[in-house]
Structure 1
Amino acid sequence: MPPSTAGPLPVTADDLEQAVQLAVATLREAPSAAWDRKAGSLEWDCWETVEHLSDDLFAYAAQLGPKAPPLEGDVPFVWESRRPGGPANAVHADRAAGSAGLLQVLEASGALLVAMVRTTPSRVRAYHVFGVSDPVGFAAMGIVETLVHTHDLAEGLGLAWTPPADLCSRVLARLFPDAPSTTDPWPTLLWATGRAELPGHPRLTTWRWHGTPRS
């Protein structure tokens, strides 16, 4: 039988759910005193980075929520920083709830986007600064945010983090069509998001994904 020439399967809501659950399970292993450490190469601490990731997932779900989703801007929630230089979020976790509460906020925000991707018709389009997108595109964006920010967090928290290669392959195909296709998917995704060098490819100083559906 000749080898298959089919590309990666499309991204699904199940892929997003897997990414969030893997991230939450990994982050639960963090020492309770480590959340004020800097998150990898970011200027935010680890607590703020989880809030930012939660906010991303919430915001993507919200974009798909209106009966007529916006095509020229974000749903106008108020995003604000808790300190100069901190992430501007609509979602903030109650620090009195500790890291367990913080991760519950992350899991809940992820579940909102999973539900919206599962229930929103594929014909629906909504605004994102990197291209008006469809529900599958927002799922892929949520996966990239989750995988890459968990990488940032794992660096700050001293945790191991290597997500599944097939998951990385699918989001690369959906959002980064110009990324190298013959290199390992996880290092390639880190390269595509400006976090690492790749053999033969210098580290990116600017980057973006392409959310517009291919067809």
Structure 2
Amino acid sequence: MQFAPGYRRFAVPAFVGAAISAFVFPPLGAALLAFGAFVLWFFRDPERSPPDEPGVVSPADGHVSVIRVEDGRIRVGVFMNVTDVHVNRAPVPGTVRDVTHRPGAHKPAFSKDSDKNERVDIEVESDDGEYEVSQIAGAFARRIHPYVATGDELARGDRIGHIDFGSRADVLLPEGFSSEDLTVEKGETVRAGETVLARR
């Protein structure tokens, strides 16, 4: 099993503490062992294969929590709870035009106020227009880890980053997409790099 970068800073101290505590205070050792196992499970990074059918794939595992129009463009947001894989993926093939970190609050990622949260916006220029993928921090997610930089070439479904412990990932579609082009509804469960969100 592959793991997202950063798991060692949480898992290694937990396992070391568990080994020491097993001789001093076994209940604490058991708790630390369980926490270390949880960290490995949370940072899991399974392989994904984009579907043969064309379309914009989900940037994240979770459920669709946002569908709205912003200045003529449609935004689709996916809320990741603690049980979901938190590695984000490219919704379309293209070139990374910009990666911008925006400081902000840490409201629950499923709330309306989460639009003001800390985020990283990744602009991707594709054959059919400009997409923006936003990695949005949540109440407990204080670290956003983009893997890409300006100029990188992406294939659909490539890993583009991850967020620690609960969050949201959005894709802002180019102008020209309409609500009729969407293939998902609010509340629907989706998988990063595999579920098609929209096509035209």
- Structure 2 length-normalised TM: 0.25
Structure with higher strand content: 2
Structure with higher helix content: 1
Larger radius of gyration: 2
- Structure 1 length-normalised TM: 0.24
